[in-house]
Amino acid sequence: MSGEAQNVQDVNGTVSRVIRMGTRKSQLARIQTDYVAEKLKNLYPDVNLGIVPMSTIGDKILDTALSKIGEKSLFTKELENALERNEVDLVVHSLKDLPTTLPDGFTIGAVLQRESPYDAVVLHPKNSGLTLDSLPDGSVIGTSSLRRAAQLKKRFSHLEFKDIRGNLNTRLKKLDEKEDYSAIILAAAGLKRMGWETRISQVLNPEDCMYAVGQGALAVEVRARDSDILEMVSNLHHPETVLRCIAERAFLRRLEGGCSVPVAVHTEVKDSVLSLTGAVYSLDGTDCLKDTMEASITPGNQAEESADFQHVGVTALNVPQFSQVAAEKLGVALADLLLSQGAMEILTTARKLNDAR
Ligand code: DPM
């Protein structure tokens, strides 16, 4: 399939636009794309939606830890190529898989309301009833997230952590059908979307494990110049999620972190104040820099609306520019604070050690 977006004509001669949605082939990606399709269908009943499944590098390389592949756009490149070639009009991603700097010509046109951003413990059935605290010494926990391992090693020093790769279905299978892992750690959001909420034995609180930048939020990536599509998907934005995620992404971008560094965040909006807690860790979690900053996101009487202005890759047409600028500055300011305390040294060492593993 290639070329310009097609229109279709029904028996009454009514012409309606066809919107083609690119998606990865994993079950989670399909569920997420169907979810966004459903939302679009409700907003625009006359639009025809087509779904185009594709494989990505991240889906093909299953035997290497995510953090070691060193390719930032692991799950996004093929989909962006299809966008660029006009084979699809939009792509649904987990926001946390999208780099903080998108290639030229692309933008995140919608960030949907966040699901639970927390991480969850899924136990091997034989350990039913136990928690990370009560699992026996030396129990092996599967995760290839440096962020999860760093935080949890420090907090639960009696446990061992080993890489586990593959999509959610593969991981659950590896857990249940072998004796390699006592438990695995996964994002609660993904488990919920898959309908596997009942497998969650414990949701980790922010004291034990802060989440990844953008975790739990879905993003719709589009061609930055495609104003029709951009306007259409902008109605999917959830303003509070947009602002939280802009702050989180600005924090990560300033730290020059990708999806493979031990960086974690926590954000909240209360009474028009956005608060951001951010942390960087050494691989074993023993070195940690963590701080919290706040910013008012109340739209002031500042000159507003330079319509298609991007913030860390996000174009949010109907979220006040002032608030977006405040959120982005907050992320940068917190990163600068941690950088002034030595964050770059911690991250550089973590990267080197991870590469040498
Ligand atoms: C990124 C990480 C992981 C994914 C790193 C991290 C987890 C990798 C692992 C950037 N992307 O979280 O520190 O556990 O080995 C991913 C998942 C989801 C989006 C699955 C998961 C679903 C949840 C969501 C993989 N990307 O984290 O359990 O929408 O946020």
pLDDT at 58: 65
CA distance linking residue 92 with residue 76, whole number of Å: 10
Question: What is the DSSP-derived secondary structure letter of residue 152?
Answer: H
Ligand 1 pocket test: pick from 79, 143, 145, 354 the residue with the most ligand atoms within 8 Å of its Cβ. 145
Q: Where are the beta strands (DSSP E) in the chain?
A: 7-9, 15-24, 48-54, 90-94, 106-111, 119-123, 140-142, 160-162, 183-187, 200-203, 218-223, 263-270, 273-281, 288-296, 310-311, 314-315
pLDDT at 261: 86
pLDDT at 3: 43
332 membership: H or E segment, kind and range: helix 321-340
How much distance in Å is there from the Cα of 96 to the middle of ligand 1? 7
CA distance linking residue 103 with residue 107, whole number of Å: 8
Q: Is 212 in the pocket of ligand 1 (CB under 6 A)?
A: yes
How much distance in Å is there from the Cα of 12 to the middle of ligand 1? 46
Instruction: Answer yes or no: 97 catalytic.
Output: yes
Question: What is the DSSP-derived secondary structure letter of residue 142?
Answer: E
CA distance linking residue 259 with residue 66, whole number of Å: 8
Residues of the chain with pLDDT under 70: 1-16, 57-74, 259, 300-308
Nearest to 178 by CA among 145, 142, 146, 134: 142
Tokens of 245: 């995620």
pLDDT at 11: 67
pLDDT at 175: 97
The pairing of beta strand 140-142 with beta strand 160-162: parallel
Tokens of 324: 């977006």
Q: Is 190 in the pocket of ligand 1 (CB under 6 A)?
A: yes
Nearest to 255 by CA among 350, 163, 324: 350
Cβ contact 319:236 at 8 Å: no
Supply the residue whose CA is at minimum distance from atom 13 of ligand 1.
145
CA geometry: angle at 73 spanning 260 and 183, to 5°?
45
Query: Which of 89, 97, 208, 226 is labelled catalytic?
Result: 97
